[in-house]
Amino acid sequence: MHLYPIILTVLAHCVKSSSATWEELDNLHFGGRWWRDNDSMKHSWGVGTFIVRFRGSSELVMQMTSSWVGAYYTCQVDGGPEVKLFHDNQIDYFQVAAGLSPSKEHIVRCGRNNEASWGPTIIDGIVLDPNGELLQAVDPNAGNTMLRFEAIGDSITAGFKATATTAAEPSTIANQDVFQTYVRYMADAWGTNDYNVIAKSGVSILDYGTTGVVMSQEFPCREFWDTWQEGCPQLHDFSSWQADVVTINLGTNDFAFGDPTKEAFREGYLSFIQDVRQKYPNALIACMEPILDSCAVNQPILTDIVDGLEQAVIDMNDEKVIYYETGSPADPWLVCATDYTDYTHPTVVGNEKFAARMLESTSITDDIRRFFPEKCGGTGASCQVGAPTAAIPTPSPVPITIPTTVIELAPTVMHSEESRLIAFVGNWQACPSDAQLAQYTHIIISFAVSYTWSPNKNICSQQCDIAAPLTCGNTARPDLIQRWQEQGKKVLLSFGGAGMGGSWSGDVNDCWEYCYGKEEKVVDRLADIVNEVGFDGIDIDYEYFYEDNQNGSGFTKGTQAQTFLRDITVGLRNKLPIGSELTHAPMEPDMEPGRGYFNVLKEIAEDTLDFLMPQYYNGYVRSYTNFSGALSHFTAITDQMFGGNPNKIVYGFCISDCGSFNLDGDQSAQVMEWLSEEYPCNGGAFFWVANDDTNGDWSKVVKDQLQIDSSTASCSGNTEPTGPTTTPVAPVSTPSRSPIAMVNPTTVPVAPVSIPVQGSKCLAIPQAELPAGSWATNDAACALCGADYTWWPCDVQSPSPLCRCDNGSPPVSSPVNPPTSSPVNPSTRTPVNPPTRAPTNPPTRSSVNLPTSTIVAGSDCTAIPQEELPSGSWATTVEYCALCETGDHPWWPCDVQNPPLCRCHEAIEIRLRRRLGAPTSH
């Protein structure tokens, strides 16, 4: 029987009964200028966040419309990384999240990237799985502990062409992104996500007949309106939300389209800020000098505008209305030729620089601190005190009740190394059940940290004070630790995790840096925790920078980082009680020979570590589809770090938090079988995270395979050893190797993870640098060339390479002809041989039978196997088909249609066909 999804509201585009209510939409939280429109919720001015809380569903689908041409949204699932999604307005249904665990509660938060002038967003309904339940979402700022921030401005504030790469690139919804503007970066620094953006491209203070409705008329209106309308459709109710801080960034269009005198602009600006003051009686109103003034040298019109603006602020005679300079021709905040896309609109980097200078070179944060000390304390450019405890609130932890009927597990005194099955347990997640525990040999509590969690940037302890760790369920449970140990489990504590700081693009946390130079303090504190709680050892989970300028970050503390890693490892080995286990869980790319982290452990691992746990889910090697690559990596560690002893290496998996790197139990068991064929005495397996091992379903399959492998292996004496002590070794020199592409590690369920781009070794050559007849690709495609990928675009050499790797060299040396709409004939090179055993088919997931636009990476566009393709067609890989998932990549292999090389969701295929000019009917 087919189960249709439940629709939790009566949908506006369907026939409704007369008794219809839309109380279900009341369960959502809407941030910004939303309003009711019959049975729907409608929004115009940015950023228009909406928060949905639900359980019992593997996905969240919104029934909605988005402006006239569609819109982009930035969404976050369960506090994970933010992902930019496109909603095609030709499709009423917008799948925001998928691949979620139906047994858990989920919170999804989204905001719109595009400005109001594109048209409104209208939410009509929510679609969940048949057993899904919509819960009441909570306002993250219900307690009014965060700053309420409103940014008023023009196209610069709206993110016009923020992500454009050239001045010639036309403005589109794709390259406009309010979340890549100075507004977002300033909000992050102030510890708030409760902010609005009232911005319109082309808007001015004075009316010149060419800039549309002026801001003084737009600002009071609840929605954007234009000159063809008779007036504002409806005034906004300002009593519903009162801003603490208002920034005004206007005047650029008065310079571009008008010729105002100082006095005329002063009058217009003064009238506007008087209206803002009337609407927000207690707000700090920050009047910003147009940043263009730094580049438009000797322009009398702009000088009059700036002088008039400054005089208007003086005339207000209000201590909470303050004028802020934004640089000068002598000291420009941005590089005029490179930090703007067109000498007017800042790039993403330009916006970051603008925000940084605004925060560091003006008194704005100190002024906020002066007027709102309860919401912004501390010192410096950021609000460090009074920040909220959660960006997206979660319900209070449900008390964990230990069942009265306990499954008694036979204690195991020793585990053979090749049968280790190690589970990470998130201490904010539910405690593992007995059904799960039955499979585990080790439990690693995650994490001990030296920070207080904060939504935009964790608040680091500047003295690297490590707090007493919780166990699970947000509670300290020494009773459970003792019980697990009595059942024969070893219970370790992991220090670190992504919240301490990560080396991937976009991460702002840097708490590791406050621990450099405090190695002895860290060692003593961790050893004390082990002794106090009774842990069986320590895991180091370091995912931060360790080389100077790693991944192009500008990081300068490579030597200190490597010294820290070496000294805490050696120190813990010496300090921990006899019999304690010590391990590291590094990301896979960090364990590539020649990297600084690898070199540190290479010098000391045999004398200090009981085992090493590489994360074969955070990097670029996909164990199931590219086992040969994973095996090569495993072999390098075995031979170069442990003298050929594989039982020191525990293989890492991820169940559901890591996008296309996720592997189910059958797939993971297959990988371990392949590994045992090469290394029968390997160190076993570990996985992230126990909370996703529902009923032990994943671990049962993997444990069975480990036992089979162990029973057929002849590994004499492989019981878990205690590492010997050692004396400190000399510092490891920092290598000069270029960065490796990686994905953002996660500790909570996340939305799609895409092919690595930022930090990749190979980047796309811009169209402007290519000769006639060559067409540029993108960084996502070129990122594959850094991982021994020998197909298009990596093999293109004539008439020009499409990718530039490392120091400017192309990815391969043998020239081949570039493809037009089909790949280069694979017969010209030897294909990579797959593992000898055919992979187990991954399980399929029943999904909502509706058109969607965004689904979990790796699940919606998969490579069609070679055996299903006709003669003359050659299969590609799942990595390449992942490029087709947004429907916005109209190049190979997505453009190949007769026959197709990728199998995508119907909505994606329709969008690709539209872009290719192909018929959309099947």
Each residue's pLDDT tens digit, 621-640: 889 988 888 998 999 999 99
Q: Rounded distance, CA 435 to CA 685, Å?
A: 18
- Residue 408: the pLDDT is 29
Report residue 476 as tokens: 């300290």
Q: Give me the residues paired with residue 37 across strands.
A: 40
Taking CA atoms, 408 is separated from 437, 488, 528, 619, 690, in Å, by 11, 11, 31, 39, 19
- Residue 101: the pLDDT is 92
- Residue 887: the pLDDT is 59
Report residue 722 as tokens: 């205690």
For residues 142 and 181, the answer to whether their CB atoms sit within 8 Å is no
- Residue 761: the pLDDT is 66
Q: Rounded distance, CA 342 to CA 364, Å?
A: 28
| Segments of the chain with pLDDT less than 50 | 1-21, 385-415, 716-760, 807, 809-859, 906-922
The string over 632-658, giving b where at least 16 C-beta atoms fall within 10 Å of a residue's C-beta and e elsewhere, is ebbeebbebbbeebbbbbbbbbbbbbb
What pTM value is reported for the model? 0.47
- Residue 902: the pLDDT is 82
> CA 523, 529, 533: angle at the middle one, nearest 5?
155
Q: Rounded distance, CA 827 to CA 811, Å?
A: 20
- Residue 886: the pLDDT is 61
- Residue 455: the pLDDT is 77
- Residue 905: the pLDDT is 52
Q: Rounded distance, CA 500 to CA 544, Å?
A: 8
**Tens digits of residue pLDDT in 425-451:** 999 899 998 888 999 999 999 999 999
- Residue 715: the pLDDT is 67
Q: For the chain, which domains are there?
A: 35-135 (2.60.120.260), 145-372 (3.40.50.1110), 420-711 (3.20.20.80), 861-911 (no CATH)
- Residue 634: the pLDDT is 95
The string over 544-556, giving b where at least 16 C-beta atoms fall within 10 Å of a residue's C-beta and e elsewhere, is bbbbbebbebebe
Virtual torsion, Cα 562, 568, 571, 576, nearest 10 deg? -150
- Residue 733: the pLDDT is 30
* Distance from chain centroid for Cα 114: 19
Crossing angle of helices 558-575/519-529, nearest 10°?
Answer: 40
Query: Quick one: how many helices (H) and strands (E) in the chain?
Result: 19, 31
- Residue 851: the pLDDT is 27
- Residue 513: the pLDDT is 96
